[in-house]
A and B are shown apart, each in its own frame.
Chain A
Amino acid sequence: MSAPVGRGHPPLRRDGPQGRCETVNMAGFLPAFISHSGLSLAAAPESLGSAPLQLENPLLILVLCVVAGVGTVLLLPARRDVAFRKVGGSLVVAALLIFTALLARSKFSIGMGIYFWIFAAVALGGAVRVITHPRPVYAALYFVLTVFASAGLFVLLDAEFMAAALVLIYAGAILITYVFVIMLASEARSPEATASHVADYDTTSREPIVAATVGFALMGVLLFVIFDRGHELTVPPQITTDNTEINNTQGATQKLGVYLFQHQSVNLELAGLLLTVSMVGAIVIARKKVLVVELPHGRPPVTVAPATPIDDNPYSIPVFGTDNPRQKAYPET
């Protein structure tokens, strides 16, 4: 099945005429599509692989991470004034804005990527609110916002099916389960607590300074590597999947399906098996133990007549010499 590498358009390219099929209609309005198809006319061969940007002073990333870390520590739920949280929030927003400006300045072109910036800002702002909002239901709803913004980023990356699947699975299934469990778990609250009551473990955070230091150190190192060594991400050669049938099918979703069932079929079956096993496991874990009521000690065991007795009341009066299986015999055996 290993046909030679097709020299046709690779599966994610949209610049060929037959690549512009019905799934593109939605993406046709998006500037990413314009950039994707327009970039083949321009000097850069592809949008994602075009000249990697360099920051003049990568140390600035680390400074920004420190600022954002201080802001996050102030923003994390704790028994503080609202003013501190406002200061922390403005610090985080300022760090994000400066970082954006740095990125935007280093490589200038006409406003094609405005959708990327909007989606990225919404996703990251939602993510910060997920970890800083004291009430779990609102955290879950902010996570839904993050999921929608990530789906927008996926659409910009020509992964329309994954965007739809993300919204369906995350926002539709997983988050509903989370909200259900949140409601289920906060139901046993004391009755005098008002609706605006927030539990104690939600208003305080555990080791915020240490966690923010570790997290933002990791973030700084990651961003430093991405932007400092990014010039080694040269434009790859035309890597296509090694099958011509994939190129013959139309549409990104069809290509993904064909790719999955031709190259990843065993993994797909394993994924289904994993889902089944986890479903069984979840049922077994969350099952409530059924209590079997035992008769108190000392009373003789009551024998009732076989074959679904109506009279299974242990206090009813046994009948002497009966043949009716629905009645109790007098000398109780």
Chain B
Amino acid sequence: MDYGPSERPAGAAPLPTAIKILIAGGFGVGKTTMVGAVSETRPLRTEEVLTETGVGIDDLSGVEGKTTTTVAMDFGRITISEDLVLYLFGTPGQDRFWFVWDELALGALGAVVLADTRRLADCFPSIDYFEGRGTPFVVAVNCFEGARRYRLDEVQAALNLDPGVPVLLCDARQRESSKEVLITLMEHAMKVRESRRRAGG
């Protein structure tokens, strides 16, 4: 943050650094609910417009007849300190929007994969994605009413997770529970970072 005196209004503090954590999982698993449970604002929604020609075009004149679609992302904000603002992004659920995930995952501190034991397979694509990309993640089993309770080691086995990946129960509606998930993720990410540092010499 090297702003010269002429670049900032007199007396203004330097701009904080923004960081992000992703909340992933299948449709209806509670991603936006978890964002809302810990965010200091109500969850906001942002949209990207996609055209079939995709990214890399400079001028949209004449694309009126081409197929367009939008990808919506819900997100929230937590001001950690004067220097640090944390954003939580719910990832778009549809698998065809992977390139949006690439933008979201770049520089992310880690990811929460929310799982529903009634539709466990819905979170497979998220797990595959973060494993492949090397993004630290935890699996949080959202405890829906009426869902059969499984033991965490059963879930871990069913998802074929690396033994180091934390699996925990949560209630995405509850602030304390969602905070605990995020803290577990940050602690896990620190361990991942440390083991990579050692492996790298």
| A and B from one complex | no
| B residues whose Cβ falls under 8 Å from a Cβ of A | none
